Amino acid sequence: MNLFTETSLSPEILKAVGELGFVSPTEIQKQTIPFISTDIRDLIALAQTGTGKTAAFSLPILDMIDDGSRKIQLLVLCPTRELCLQITKDIKNYSKYLPNIKTTAVYGGSSITDQIRSLREKPQIIVGTPGRVIDLINRKALDFSEIHWLVLDEADEMLSMGFKDDLETILRETPDTKQTFLFSATMNKEVERISRNYLTNPHRISVGSINEVKKNIKHEYYVVGYRQKKEALKRLIDDNPNQYSIIFCRTRMETQEVADFLMQNGYAADALHGDLSQAQRDTVMKKFRLKNIDILVATDVAARGLDVNSLTHVIHFSLPDDPEVFVHRSGRTGRAGKDGISMALIKPEESRKLKQIKLATKIDINEKKIPTGQEIIKAQVGGVFEKLLTEHEDFFEFDNKLIPDLSAFSKEELVHKLLQFQLRDLALYYKDKNDLAEQKFNNDEGRESRRDRRDRDRDGRRGDRRERDGGRERKPRRNSEDMVRFFFNLGKRDQLKKVDMLDIINKATSKSKSKKRPDIGEIEIMEKFSFFEVEKSFKDDVLRGLPSIKFKGKEMRAEVAN
């Protein structure tokens, strides 16, 4: 099967697929489409992200769905709301000429009332995140008792994000007669256990492996001190003009800080992370797809489901702990037959982690030096000509008489003047800058302090838990001590002081049923946020009371910290 037209898919589906520009199926599609169309067994399909899995399972199922029935026939479960929306969009595109087939997305971070209302239209296909699906089951808004097909998309990701119990709860709500398709990039122990317990005699399809690295991606790494990472990032961006890239960070806080730094320095950049509302996320992703911004700074979780084929660069601002995540990140560039570049910024003490990634993935990652100011200017000159010579479209008209007499200048002199004008600000910026490659990394300048690392990692764990199910909050672990520790969203930059924090806590707990004031423990005021400890029995009072008051006109938010 080398062409979609060689499949048994209906003319309506082939027409929609053709209009999307699909001609030849990918390897996973070649193997999966005929299997689902003709076999009644369950399926385990192993393939990397970006290989066309959505079309692989949805095209044959769309061909078999009973469009005269108003029962739910297909349920697709996926880890994040971004992926949920992407799959929904794809299925709607594939079913463009099947007017009686309806698809509804259900995910956290958006109005559950609106989603319940959309379910009244009786869709045959539901695409959802586990948490929101369970919420709707509990509200009797979803009934999967008659589904024919269940798809677990990116099963390894769902399990790694802590959805094992949720998945098993949903699976128990489905009939034994259904056909289950499990799609995953890896086959770890948890995926194996789920497949063993909930799939019957599954057929296996494997396309490539996690360690199979694209040959058209060049991998580089740069050693730089912690306090110099943002400046080093700026230099890498300047040294690679005309790029269209994703910068990956570990935590929500780091993501926002890097994006703010780039925007303040004049780059067309924005952030994508779990603290954004769904409307904000949609706006950022739309701007990125339309190339209104050409740099997206994102966490791994938030970037799931973002399908862009023309990325030139992936930059690892922070290394992931898992080598598989490194491969997933890097694989977002070098798609559609194009070349790509993966760059990693590592601190001197992370050499062992990088070595582990190299050994696990068999990737040849070459060390490079942070470019000097002179090298950057040379690259920018090349970038100007690259853009000038590849863009031929006329965007406006003007009278040639407006062009002054330039006969006194040679061609070279004119080009020199234009380049000086175009690159003046950049040249002035780097004129007196020291080269980062010449600077030594010591404990004061090159390394992240223990407190900085502790606060960053704590904030990251807090933010990542929120992102996991598109906004569905999970209950935090309770401390065994008498005090409970809170993360607070205001800090020194908001002119917050310890005396203010004491007053805020007292106001928040003023309506407590307890007649006594809460015992208040340690208060740490950081630059952008704070931590405070309160007697455990007042935990709910703090969470209820804080949103109702403001500090200098600013809304306040507290969450239990690890």
d(CA 73, CA 68) in angstroms, rounded, equals: 11
Identify the H or E element spanning 485: strand 483-488
What 8-state DSSP symbol labels residue 447? S
CA neighbor of 134 nearest in space, from 475, 469, 465, 468? 469
> Model confidence at 213, in pLDDT bands (50, 70, 90)?
low
pLDDT tens string 284-296: 988 998 889 999 9
**Which pLDDT does position 512 carry in this prediction?**
79
pLDDT at 297 over 50: yes
d(CA 382, CA 322) in angstroms, rounded, equals: 36
CB-based contact 179:42 (threshold 8 Å): yes
Q: Up-side HSE of residue 330: CA atoms within 13 Å toward CB?
A: 30
Q: What is the mean pLDDT of residues 502-524?
A: 82
d(CA 390, CA 410) in angstroms, rounded, equals: 24
pLDDT at 363 over 50: yes
CB-based contact 340:314 (threshold 8 Å): yes
204 residue type, one letter: R
pLDDT at 441 over 80: no
CB-based contact 167:159 (threshold 8 Å): yes
**Which pLDDT does position 208 carry in this prediction?**
64
Q: Which domains does the chain have, with CATH numbers?
A: 4-206 (3.40.50.300), 217-372 (3.40.50.300), 375-434 (no CATH), 475-560 (3.30.70.330)
Q: CA 210 → CA 47, 164, 324, distances in Å? A: 8, 22, 7
pLDDT at 456 over 70: no
CA neighbor of 354 nearest in space, from 254, 228, 220? 220
> Model confidence at 474, in pLDDT bands (50, 70, 90)?
very low
**Which pLDDT does position 60 carry in this prediction?**
95
Q: Give me the DSSP letters along 226-274.
A: GGGHHHHHHHHHHTSTT--EEEEESSHHHHHHHHHHHHHTT--EEEE-T
CA neighbor of 9 nearest in space, from 25, 470, 109? 25
**Which pLDDT does position 325 carry in this prediction?**
82
d(CA 356, CA 344) in angstroms, rounded, equals: 14
Strand partners, 151: 76, 181
> Model confidence at 427, in pLDDT bands (50, 70, 90)?
confident
Cβ atoms within 10 Å of 405's Cβ, excluding its own: 6
d(CA 201, CA 204) in angstroms, rounded, equals: 10
